[in-house]
A = this chain, B = another copy of it.
Amino acid sequence: MARRAIPDIVVGRLPVYLRALSFLIVEGRQITSSQELGDRLGISSAQIRKDLSHFGEFGKQGTGYDINFLYDQLRQILKVNRMWDVVLVGAGNLGKAIADYGGFAGKGFVIQAIFDTDPAKVGKPMGIDNLMVQPLDALGEMIHAKGIVVGIIATPAEEAVAVARTMIDAGVKAILNYAPITLTVPSHVRVQYVDPVVGLQRMTYYLSTS
């Protein structure tokens, strides 16, 4: 499997396939097809077959995919058949929503520590795991000590650049950035962006104005 040859856009669709498979499992289903997955996801069945073919042979012509098998395989490919410790920086409204989110469980991620600069927040428990919010200047040491490689930034834009630098210097290699700013990072670090304004503006382009 020549992993380096796989386009990032293909990799980006795998978590969406995994999510769809998890719904099928909840529905008690055993077998699915690229056609059914495609219909559910608004993606052509040919695209799904082509995407999956990068990683191996997961179904047989005419019999479809074994849902549990494909689910396990995709978890393995995405390396989420294990737990990744995550640091979260920002304990404001958004950080609180992320810390309270139950959707990480079973998906490969567990928030291990939460940081903020606000003395009013530091020392207070937050999130589903009741983690004590820690002062931001403890961030680097914690990442380093625990060997954490995944970080979430939920700070204002002004603070995100410095937070990212601290994360990366301490060993973080994957950042989910909710701050509305593009981060400049070394080539060994990946960033995924979550900015509702960018999502909305990308759609208004197509709307008719009257």
Contact = CB atoms under 8 A, between A and B. Distances in A.
A144 interface: no
Copies in the complex: 2
Contact of A41 (B97, B182, B194, B204): B182
Contacts of A40: 182, 184
A64 to B, nearest CB: 19
Interface in A76-131: 77-80, 82, 84, 86, 93-94, 96-98, 100-101, 103-104, 107-109
Contacts of A28: none
Interface stretch (A8-16, A134-142, A162-170): A8-16
Interface string A187-210: 000101111111111111111010
Contacts of A176: 196, 199-200, 203
B174 A42 contact: no
A149 interface: yes
A152 interface: yes
A173 interface: yes
21 contacts: A14-B202, A19-B181, A19-B195, A23-B157, A40-B182, A78-B204, A78-B205, A79-B205, A79-B209, A82-B209, A84-B204, A86-B200, A93-B96, A108-B204, A150-B200, A173-B206, A174-B204, A174-B207, A176-B199, A176-B200, A192-B202
Interface of A: 8, 11-12, 14-16, 18-20, 23, 39-42, 77-80, 82, 84, 86, 93-94, 96-98, 100-101, 103-104, 107-109, 149-150, 152, 157, 173-174, 176, 180-182, 184-185, 190, 192-207, 209
